[in-house]
Amino acid sequence: MEPVYSRIPVSDAGGMSVHLPVVDLGPEPRRLAVIAGIHGDEPSPILLVDRLVVALRDIPLKAGIRIVAAANPPALMQRARWSNWDDEDMNRVGNGGGGPALTRRLAATLCDVVEGCQLVVNLHNFVMRTPLLAIQPPAQDAERQARHKRYLDALDPHVVWVFGVSPEDVKVFQSSIDAAMESRGPDVLAVEMSDLPELDEPLLRRSITGLLRLAALTGCIDAAGIPAPKHNAVFVNRLIIRAPGAGIFEPIAPLGGRVAPGDVVGHLIPLERPGDRVNVLAPKPGWLIQRLGQRFVRPGDMIATVGLAL
């Protein structure tokens, strides 16, 4: 089925008209929405939704699928996490709160365009090499938890990051656009993947297959012919390892492998002392679920994360 492209006006800013680009496939009612580009430095989801639209062209649709491939056009054009027009993180303004800032208007419009869907998949990417990773949010009621489990089973990620349940963690989630969209009715599944330099075809294929299973679960397509999930996800809490200084990070430990306290995750080649390598060590036992490739890092940059078994 051929997609229908439209643009929803958001604002006129400095003489330039800003729109939210929307792609619709299939008949009403719309049951699934897929969002990419909330952060302007996360291009991998845009490639993923392109592949999804291509795949859906050859599949009969029983209900509608709505795709927002560029949810934050100003930030994407600037290749920045958020736009310098207002310096607001679109993922942290909730439903926009009726504010005049462009980012808040975009967030409010996004909440409008996904209202009425059963499920919203919010796609992001990390700068680190990352397997297909889904987030299990805190503070869900029993019914949402049960539905979220079905979505995770269908997506079939490599890793499920179980968000903390401390008051601070819950506060962070409640400020997110995911929580704002859920307040309008849809369930929301947040998904992370690798950045473009680290994104490979096996990860893209697994991601596309998972999205097609979610389309089947929400009644948009038939499940026939879609490979069954492997159900081998690891459920973890996430512990961040940060760069101890400025320099080049060289990874050593394999992604997805087990690590013990004191295992060498990688080396830091110091900015001013080449040849004097600094070992970057795993602080606790778990799985190495995310890791930078060879990159320049600054003090405190995220260079790896360890998944702590629950």
pLDDT tens-place string over residues 120-159: 999 999 888 999 999 998 867 889 899 999 999 999 999 9
Task: Give the H or E element holding residue 155.
Answer: helix 142-155
Measured CA to CA, the distance from residue 26 to residue 56 in angstroms comes to: 9
Pairs from 220-227 (Cβ < 8 Å, separation ≥ 24)? 220/26, 220/31, 220/32, 220/61, 220/62, 220/63, 220/64, 220/65, 221/56, 221/59, 221/60, 221/61, 221/62, 222/60, 222/62
Selection from 289, 299, 243 nearest residue 266 by Cα: 243
Average pLDDT over residues 97-101: 79
pLDDT value at residue 246? 96
- pLDDT at position 13 is 57
The CATH number for 239-309, chosen from 1.20.210.10, 3.40.50.300, 2.40.50.100, 1.10.3720.10, is: 2.40.50.100
Tell the burial category of 41 from Cβ atoms under 10 Å away from its Cβ (0-12, 13-18, 19+): middle
Residue 226 CB burial class (10 angstroms; 0-12, 13-18, ≥19): middle
Round to whole Å and give the CA distance between 219 and 27: 12
* Model pLDDT, residue 279: 96
> Domain 4-217 sits in which CATH superfamily?
Zn peptidases (3.40.630.10)
> What confidence tier does 223 reach under pLDDT thresholds 50, 70, 90?
very high
pLDDT at 168: 84
pLDDT value for 12: 65
Reported as a pLDDT band with limits 50, 70 and 90, residue 14 is low
Question: 290: closest CA among 278, 275, 308, 274?
Answer: 308
Q: What pLDDT digit, counting tens, does each position of 228-280 carry? A: 999 989 999 999 999 999 999 999 999 989 999 999 999 999 988 888 999 99
Task: Give me the residue spans of the domains in the chain.
Answer: 4-217, 239-309
Of 4-8, 225-229, 274-278, least confident by mean pLDDT is 274-278
